[in-house]
Structure 1
Amino acid sequence: MHAAARRWWLRLHRWLGLGLGLALAVVAFTGASMIVLEPLDQRLHRELFAAATPDAPPASLDAMRLAVVQRHGAQASFTMRPPRAPGDTFWVRVNGPWHGTVYVDPSTASILGHRGEREGVFNFLFELHSTLLLGDAGKPLLAVIALSYLFLLATGLVLWWPRNWRQAWRMRFDGGATRSLFDLHRVAGSLLGIVIAVSVASGAYMAWKPLSRLVTAISGDAPAKPPVVTSVPGAAASLQAMARTAQALFPQAAIGYVQFTPQPSKPVRFRLKLPDDPHPNGLTSVWFHPVTGAVLALHRWDELDAGTKGNSYMYPLHTGELGGVAHEVLNAVCGFALFGLGLTGTWLWWRRRRTRGPAPAQRAGSAWRRHPF
């Protein structure tokens, strides 16, 4: 590569990394940490995550609704998550004056405990990872940070691309810390960069809704929308009856989530997990009238618009659930590797600033002079 072009690529890689690298490293570290901490968190807080009587028959969804609405009132919206495995508790996400998760005993509908959305190490890491603690305003920023990694990857690969492939993966650890970290940064970035890009790009896709809307617009599909509810006076219809209807419509489906608000102007949504849906929570939806219990709409996951349907693949790609435990371990490794790339890149830049001049440059080694960071 021509020396002037190389300097241009180097500056682009360096300043983009320094400008957004710290935030990218934080997001990578928190994402990898959550993979490790989630099972540990559930083991350490069994009072929230383990049912007292796992073999007892489950309480009705209506009993669950009554328990949480009485506690949090009619101004909140709720997302119920039934147990996914024997012994799990029933989770209810609350979005209202109070934001957090309520943990309910699945057989008695008694509330076991609460956690605010930033309460506890795992929840704090999740909020930092998914919003940078900025709420909805953090999601477009996260998308920009995630997409910037693709430019970092491209510039890094251009700088790494070897003339001699025998030297492409060579690492030396006898030339001091600077040379060792430089080789580690170079080789790890080239080896894991593409795999990391899959997780980063899928995270950007989920974080910023305009990306999925763009995919839908390009495909020419009509975007899926919740049905409109015609207000009818009366008491709320039975969630348990809705569940029976939903599972009659899709006999092989498991209920992933039940989303509702006590307000009669919003439909009740049952999200179902079909056997052929790669999304671990399911994207098939049955929409019900909140008062009459009538079915308002059916949205099967593979019949959704292209942008929304893409989440069936993007979500498990990002979390690692698509490929099971091995994929989750790989995602954790890549997350920590991206964190390490951010740290080594910053350290190499700082080290280079301190070692400018003829003598320090000679100590850094000829390869370091050819590839200054």
Structure 2
Amino acid sequence: MRKGFLVVHKWLGLITGVVVFIVAITGCFYAFKEEIQSLYQDYKHVELNDDPYLTPSQVAHIADSIYPQQHIHSINYLGKDKALEVMYYEDDTDTSELIYDAFYVHPTTGEGIKYVDLTAGFFRFILDGHYYLWLPEELGHTVVATSTLIFFFMLITGLILWWPKNKNARKQRFKFKWKETTKWKRKNYDLHNILGFYVISIAMVLCLTGLVWGFGWFAYGSYKLLGGEKSIVYVEPDSPSLKGQAALPTDLMENNMDEMWRRMMLEYPNADNIEVHVPHTDSSTIYISIKPDEGTHYRTDYRFFDQKTLEEVEVNHLWGKYADADATDKLYRMNYDIHIGAIAGLPGKIIAFLASLIIASLPVTGTLVWWGRRKKKKK
């Protein structure tokens, strides 16, 4: 059985090694994205005067006057002493054209600060590698998801192979015992074996949280297996009062959007950011997301209000109010924060970074182990 597991482990490793290396090393870079970007994105920080904040409709008019050809997706109030973020997002699946831009505006004067293409830049390049290996989206997504699933089973076979046969073997499994005479092959084998053991639990968590995005069947199945009862698919509800009715006049819709923004600002005075989504159809709800904490996303409240009556519209999927989530819903909503380590703050991100670095080394040291044995057999 041990020889059989060794064969499986070896060939799966050779097949997926390059993919695992790329996904892990890009994960290292992405772990501290927000911290690194804060060092050079000075345009997000502003000096405020005593004037009140601009309302969402006022910001929308300013943005439309400068970029009339763009369709505003949302307006994000990023918190004290920070610029407002006007988001433009359109994903045309027919033409594969993606518009994902941000326009930063001073929150009290309305002065335009900077227009940023969010599909470009270093971290977007890293993210595309992490998700798609820089391949066409559908192909790259499938390759990454499949390789992640295979790597999860490799971790299991790796643990079986690591398990000591006897007491003497156990001494070499937990710590490095190198001498001056220790050859590089032994050192490489220990790096693969010992570091692999210490990172295996974190690697499994990273795999499982990654597979939630990788396969729809895995996301749905794992949620239901844990006892989840809601839909995991985000659906924005329509305004009940406008079904089959004429659209609201633009000025009334804008007044209502501003009114709900004011209510949310009062209800969440210490929120990290409040994002107001401009209704994209005549019957859409006024959708506002409120992120209470800096650094994590799982406690975000997603709230929907009837355009006309301003009554709250409840949803039967995960992306509603955090207070309405049960234990399984909360765990599922934590998926992203767990994956990047943010769930445990800065220490968690450091752990995720180091774990990803070790995972990236495993295909390298594993290949060297295989190559050394191959040469030995030839001799």
TM-score range relative to shorter protein: 0.7 to 0.9
Paired position in structure 2 for 1:326: 347
2:188 is aligned to: 181
2:332 aligned with 1:311, yes or no?
A: yes
Alpha-carbon shift at residue 109 of structure 1 (Å)? 3.5
Answer whether contact 2:145 2:215 (CA < 8 A) is retained. Answer: yes
Closer, same or farther: CA 228–30 of 1 in aligned 2, 3 Å: same
Task: Work out the CA distance in 2 between the residues paired with 1:76 and 1:31.
Answer: 32
Q: Distance in 1 between matches of 2:183 and 2:41?
A: 45
Amino acid at match of 1:15: W
Q: 1:288-331: per-residue Cα shift (whole Å, max 9, x none)?
A: 23466543336322434777543322121112121111111111
Q: Partner of 1:94 in structure 2? A: 88
CA distance in 2, matches of 1:355, 1:111: 66
Verify: 1:285 aligned to 2:302, yes or no: yes
* CA 1:314–1:206: 2 relative to 1, 3 Å: same
Verify the 8 A CA contact 2:106 2:113 in the aligned structure 1. Answer: no
TM-score, structure 2 normalization: 0.79
Given the alignment, which residue of 71, 77, 100 partners 1:82?
77
Q: Which runs of 5+ in 2 are unaligned?
A: 91-96
Distance 1:8-1:33 versus aligned 2 partners, 3 A rule: same
Aligned sequence identity (%):
19
After TM superposition, the structure 1 = structure 2 runs for residues 254-293 of structure 1, keeping only pairs within 5 Å, are 255-273=273-291, 279-280=296-297, 282-290=299-307, 293=310
State which of 54, 59, 63 in structure 2 corresponds to 1:59: 54
Cα 1:98–1:204 change in 2 (3 A) is closer
**In 2, distance between residues paired with 1:69 and 1:212?**
39
| TM-score of the two chains, using structure 1 as the length reference | 0.80
Does the CA contact (< 8 Å) of 1:246 and 1:286 recur in 2? no
- Mapped to 2, the partners of 1:287 and 1:352 lie a distance apart of 61
Deviation at 1:188, TM superposition (A): 0.3
Shift of 1:251: 7.1
Match of 1:112 in 2: 113
Distance in 1 between residues matched to 2:151 and 2:206, nearest whole Å:
11
Change (3 A) 1:202 1:54: farther
- Give 1:370's aligned residue: none
Residue 10 of structure 1: how far off its partner (Å): 1.0
Q: CA RMSD in A?
A: 3.2
CA distance in 1: counterparts of 2:114 and 2:70, whole angstroms: 20
SS of match in other structure, 1:39 = helix
Partner of 2:161: 159
| Residue ranges of structure 1 left out of the alignment (5+ in a row) | 359-373
Q: State the Cα distance separating 1:161 from its structure 2 match.
A: 0.5
Contact 1:105 1:111 in 2 (8 A): yes
Shift of 1:7: 1.8
Aligned to 1:30: 26
Give how far 1:283 is off. Answer: 3.5
Count the aligned residue pairs: 350
User: Are 1:168 and 2:164 matched, yes or no?
Assistant: no
> In structure 2, what residue type is equivalent to 1:287?
F
Give the Å deviation of 1:267.
2.8
Q: Are the equivalent residues in 1 in contact too, given 2:57–2:254 (CA < 8 A)?
A: no
- The 3 A distance-change label for structure 1 pair 356 and 83 is same
- Distance in 2 separating the partners of 1:197 and 1:109: 47
Aligned ranges 1:203-242 → 2 under 5 Å: 203-218=210-225, 219=227, 221-223=229-231, 225-229=235-239, 230=243, 232-233=246-247, 234-235=249-250, 236-238=253-255, 239-242=257-260
- Give the Å deviation of 1:244: 2.6
Change (3 A) 1:175 1:166: closer
Counterpart Cα distance in 1 of 2:138 and 2:69: 23
Q: Separation in 2 of the partners of 1:176 and 1:232?
A: 79
